[in-house]
Amino acid sequence: MNKRRFFAVILLLLVLAVVVVTGRGLLLRWQGGEGRAVIEALQPGVDVELTGIRFSETRQGVRKYLLAADSATYSAHGISLMYNIEVTFFDTDGRETMWLRADEGDLSGNNQAVKLRGDVVLKGAQGFVLKTDYLTYNKDDDRLQTDATVLLESAQGVLRGRGLIVAPAQERLQLLHDVSGEFGAGLVKFKPGHGQG
């Protein structure tokens, strides 16, 4: 799904939400103000709230990722907040490669970067589990990145470090700084000149 289509879907959802809220208000006025409120009041600064979100993007007919969230809010300032997020990443053949979960995240503006935070856990099809405080997913580059402390665990061992770059479609990850621990070969590549510093 390209950017225009993504924003067209969001705009359609916004228009639908405005119609529902306006229709409810008119119905309650017509009924003399009686009736049970079926729509909860929105938080200050929130223009639209959605629940049970599922969003998928494809490239050349193959799913790139599938994002699911319990709920999302949108403000007219162009910031979308999502809660209880789960993302499944796919390779170019459509095979699942990584699964990500986070407590919350936000998508702001046209930069197509999703910032995920709060108990962030990334699991790979190769058997690793990565834990950190926050990650940023850049849709244009198809990369996950953080400068936070990272814990990487698998049957091959445990590594700790600071900073990380992940390419979900290629199933590659790179710890950037202050790397320590014991780990088997093949899964982790150290960035030259930065692996231990």
3 plus 75 within the same structural domain: no
Let me know if residue 69 belongs to a domain. yes
Q: Domain of 173?
A: 42-182
55 plus 151 within the same structural domain: yes
Q: What is the pLDDT of residues 15-59, one digit of tens each?
A: 656 555 555 554 454 444 444 444 556 566 655 767 788 888 888
Let me know if residue 187 belongs to a domain. no
Question: How confident is the model at residue 96, as a pLDDT?
Answer: 94
Question: How confident is the model at residue 195, as a pLDDT?
Answer: 46
Q: What are phi and psi of 64, to 5 degrees?
A: -90, -45
23 plus 46 within the same structural domain: no
Residue 84 in this model has a pLDDT that exceeds 80? yes
Let me know if residue 197 belongs to a domain. no
Question: How confident is the model at residue 194, as a pLDDT?
Answer: 47
User: In Å, what is the CA distance from 195 to each residue of 82, 150, 160, 164, 189?
Assistant: 33, 13, 11, 11, 9
Q: What is the pLDDT of residues 103-149, one digit of tens each?
A: 999 876 665 688 999 999 999 998 999 999 999 988 888 899 999 99
Distance from C-alpha of 135 to C-alpha of 121, rounded to nearest angstrom? 10
76 plus 159 within the same structural domain: yes
Let me know if residue 96 belongs to a domain. yes
Question: How confident is the model at residue 166, as a pLDDT?
Answer: 93
Let me know if residue 111 belongs to a domain. yes
Question: Chain centroid to CA 149: how far?
Answer: 19
Question: How confident is the model at residue 107, as a pLDDT?
Answer: 78
73 plus 169 within the same structural domain: yes
23 plus 116 within the same structural domain: no
Kindly state the tokens that stand for 123: 């699991």
More confident residue, 81 or 177: 177
Let me know if residue 192 belongs to a domain. no
β-sheet bridge partners, residue 144: 137, 166
pLDDT averaged over every residue in the chain: 77
Across the range 164-168, mean pLDDT stands at 93
Residue 151 in this model has a pLDDT that exceeds 90? yes
Question: How confident is the model at residue 31, as a pLDDT?
Answer: 47
95 plus 127 within the same structural domain: yes
63 plus 145 within the same structural domain: yes
